Structure 1
Amino acid sequence: MSDDRWEPPAILLAVDLVILTLRDSRLHVLLVERGIEPYKGAQALPGGFLQHSQESLLVAAHRELAEETDLSVGTLRLEQLGVYDDPGRDPRGRVVSVAFLAIAPRLPEPTAGTDAADATWQPTDRVLSGELDLAFDHRCIVTDGVERARAKLEHSALATAFCGPTFTITDLQDVYEAVWGMPLDPRNFYRKIKKTDGFILPAGSARKAATGRPARLFRAGPREVLYPPMIRPAENSPNGKEPAQ
């Protein structure tokens, strides 16, 4: 048996945040411009290292979000998205990051702080397509966050939170199309809505339309978990649309 003392490996623990919202009928992600190396000047997710051994991951996530974007975190519900541990993901050394996700409506404009030179909302499709390049492995993390958000719309009533107190079926469909990133057949969408008891309820009034009949108004129902779920159409459907049923 060797007399050499075992030394723990030098591994740093960090947090990254994927904050998603809808702006102008498009899904957006919160990004910061890095003010320090590595990747100075590049776009990245808000995040950073744990400050000390007594700081929890969730506390660190809230702290970094407030410090880098000045975004009020009191109303944001963060959930763990995943662990990212590729040995070469950070040029500074062995860094393991725990990513957190939040999806919320009507989030305000961020303000950069600490080591961030800027903070902005950017359309997720620019990130997913590679048009907007991100530092580290943050494109992969955003991709996972968007997929989690899309799945949430399948199985929960989250979409109604992005509508007003009352809304039309078209308003709700716009939310699904923005998050799922595909057009939907209105007739199929309405059929699916009708099959899910307690998802939405009639609001007892109608919205005047410029042409045609006034649109019926609805409000969020009591059901939080959707059954049957609102399953996404296959992405390889003709013309990107779900087939008529």
Structure 2
Amino acid sequence: MTDDPWVPPVVLLAVDLVILTLRESRLHVLLVERGIDPYKGSLALPGGFLQHDGEDITAAAHRELSEEADLDVEALSLEQFGVYGEPGRDPRGRVVSVAYLAIAPRLPEPSAGTDAADAGWQSADSVLLGDLELAFDHRRIIADGVERARVKLEHSALATAFCGPTFTITDLQDVYEAVWGISLDPRNFYRKVQKTEGFIVPAGTARKAATGRPARLFRSGPCTVLRPPMTRPAEAASVKE
């Protein structure tokens, strides 16, 4: 036996932010170019360490997003979706990171600040397929964040926020295809949308088409939770990035 007092391990707490948006009908993720070591010059998620013991974790996430990408944090709703703390994930020591997700339409071009040399939107597909080299374990965090966003589209009316005030069923399908990363059968999609009560409602007008009949216009309905949900095709939902 030893009478030596127990000394707690040194653990650093950080935040990482997965910010997603649609650009040119494709899902994009916000990445920064690290301006400091480790991984100087590599792409990474915006984020960083808590500044002091009294700083709230969510407040730190908002601060880092503002400092590293100069985005309006008030316009984003951050949702905590994961904690990452495997030994060796950061060469600076034992670092536990709390990950946050935000997915929002029409986000502007970011600008770098503090320890980020650059900031910009990158194709989520390029990240998930490994076409871009990322620092730390950020590809895994992004994959988890993208999957969380895909599930949100199944169970909430979030997709309508990426359309205009009025939109066609095809416009809505484009959003689902971009976030889910798959092609959908138009007839099946139309049936699912119409079966989900309160998801969308007729706008009372139609959009003229170059050929064929004018497309019916809709607007977002009163429901925020979809019952039944807009579930992905089974073969797509089972694919692991």
TM more than 0.5: yes
Secondary structure of 2:189's counterpart equals helix
What do residues 19-53 of structure 1 show as CA deviations (whole Å, max 9, x unaligned)?
Answer: 00000000000000000000000000000000000
> Match of 1:137?
137
- What are the residue-to-residue correspondences of 1:2-81 with 2, within 5 Å? 2-81=2-81
Shift of 1:104: 0.6
Shift of 1:235: 3.0
What do residues 151-204 of structure 1 show as CA deviations (whole Å, max 9, x unaligned)?
Answer: 001000000000000000000000000000000000000000111010000000
* Structure 2 Cα separation of the partners of residues 136 and 89 of structure 1: 6
> Match of 2:87?
87
**Aligned residue type for 2:8:** P
What do residues 44-67 of structure 1 show as CA deviations (whole Å, max 9, x unaligned)?
Answer: 000000000000110000000000
Q: Which runs of 5+ in 2 are unaligned?
A: none
**Aligned residue type for 1:130:** G
Q: Kindly report structure 1 stretches of 4+ aligned residues shifted beyond 3 Å.
A: none
What do residues 206-237 of structure 1 show as CA deviations (whole Å, max 9, x unaligned)?
Answer: 00111111110000000110011111012369
Shift of 1:117: 0.3
* Structure 2 Cα separation of the partners of residues 81 and 196 of structure 1: 26
Shift of 1:130: 0.5
Relative to the length of structure 2, the TM-score reads 0.97
Secondary structure of 2:111's counterpart equals coil
What do residues 47-105 of structure 1 show as CA deviations (whole Å, max 9, x unaligned)?
Answer: 00000000011000000000000111011100101000110100111000000000111
> Match of 1:154?
154
> Match of 1:202?
202
* Structure 2 Cα separation of the partners of residues 132 and 33 of structure 1: 12
Task: Note if contact 2:32-2:68 (Cα within 8 Å) is conserved in structure 1.
Answer: yes
* Structure 1 Cα separation of the partners of residues 133 and 42 of structure 2: 8
Q: Percent identity?
A: 78
**Aligned residue type for 1:198:** G
RMSD value, Cα: 1.2
> Match of 2:185?
185
Task: Note if contact 2:18-2:100 (Cα within 8 Å) is conserved in structure 1.
Answer: yes
Secondary structure of 2:28's counterpart equals strand
Q: Which runs of 5+ in 1 are unaligned?
A: 241-245
Task: Note if contact 2:200-2:218 (Cα within 8 Å) is conserved in structure 1.
Answer: yes
> Match of 1:166?
166
* Structure 2 Cα separation of the partners of residues 172 and 43 of structure 1: 31
* Structure 1 Cα separation of the partners of residues 234 and 42 of structure 2: 34
> Match of 1:229?
229
Shift of 1:7: 1.4
> Match of 2:109?
109
Task: Say if 1:166 and 1:236 are closer, same or farther in 2 by CA, change over 3 A.
Answer: closer
* Structure 2 Cα separation of the partners of residues 183 and 75 of structure 1: 30
* Structure 2 Cα separation of the partners of residues 236 and 16 of structure 1: 27
Report the count of equivalent residues: 238
